[in-house]
Structure 1
Amino acid sequence: MIVSTENALLARLHDVFGNTLRDIATHPGDWSEEGLRDVLLTPPSVYLVWLGAQAGQVKGVIDSRFVFYVVAEVINGAEGDRPGLYQIVARLMAGLSGFRPANAGPMRFEEGRNLYTEKQGNGGVVLYGIYFTCEEPVPALMQDDGVDEYLRHYQTFTQADGSPPFAAPITLRRGHTDDE
């Protein structure tokens, strides 16, 4: 549900912006110095991330919250030859408000926020968060035969004493319950 909604939103952004932006992608996933630097070095761009959800008003439905991080070199690109924050945000809001991604309900604009930091100010870019919500149906519980790919996974364990972490393969038994 989240993946199909995100993919539909990314496709919509590509339709709305065409080749006017340098990058349209899922947010890299972390706010480390390196991750932030990568985002700030690619204006004009839009990055998407799912922020989470809360219970919907109807059983089997959640209200998902998405943020679109808009990175631009200028606030208003009307006087120049590149899209500014105002132009990107206006097009994003027009293109997404009411849009129905995948099996989700229509996108609803919630708020826009200036995410200014000293780091971005020193880099000569602006960063804004444009927040939308939509209702998403919760899929039915997967059958046991649909989780084969998750029966074996790898987990990394850290040690409190400072020893290096170690990875261990974990294999779950099919049909295992907590009562056994």
Structure 2
Amino acid sequence: MTENIAPDNQDTQNNLDTLPDSARRVALLLRERGHTKPVVMLPETGKTSAEAAAGLGCSVAQIAKSILFRRVEDDAPVLVIASGANRVDEKKVAAHVGAVGRADAKFVREKTGYAIGGVCPIGHAVPPVTLIDADLLELASLWAAAGHPHAVFNLSPDELIALTGAPVADVALRDAS
């Protein structure tokens, strides 16, 4: 499935008052950067890729999930924007940015300004080192978190690259068989 249709009556871009504060901040940032598609509020949580895909009627692969790591050498945040269908290979990420470790909820909130499940690819409290999963480039349409576990926005892979300025890399864990 490559064509996505947001749920009806969800034009929250035009009615920012209906958005939670964190999603409103993302909507304004997107607007500032010339992104014209609205932030959409899902009726159910979009904390997991499967939940978000079910709510949007798209494939899990089209969910551009934001996973934050902690770089070991300097505690810098490392953001990997991956296809919802992929698991991230930490060794591949480390080959690009240096050794990484898991980030706990407190680290995620402090470095991004967002709660886990709502981490947006942009607008972080501390600008992260960012990588984009190469598999996302195979898709015409993506959905990314918009600062809140129920908020998402639609974009193309090219728009994701333009918004983040991040390089594309092979970060997916591949089956060894």
Confirm or deny a common fold (TM above 0.5).
no
Greater per-residue strand proportion: 1
Structure number, greater radius of gyration: 1
Please, what TM-score do these two structures have when normalized by structure 2? 0.29
Length-normalised TM-score, structure 1: 0.28
Higher relative contact order (CA 8 A, sep 6+): 2
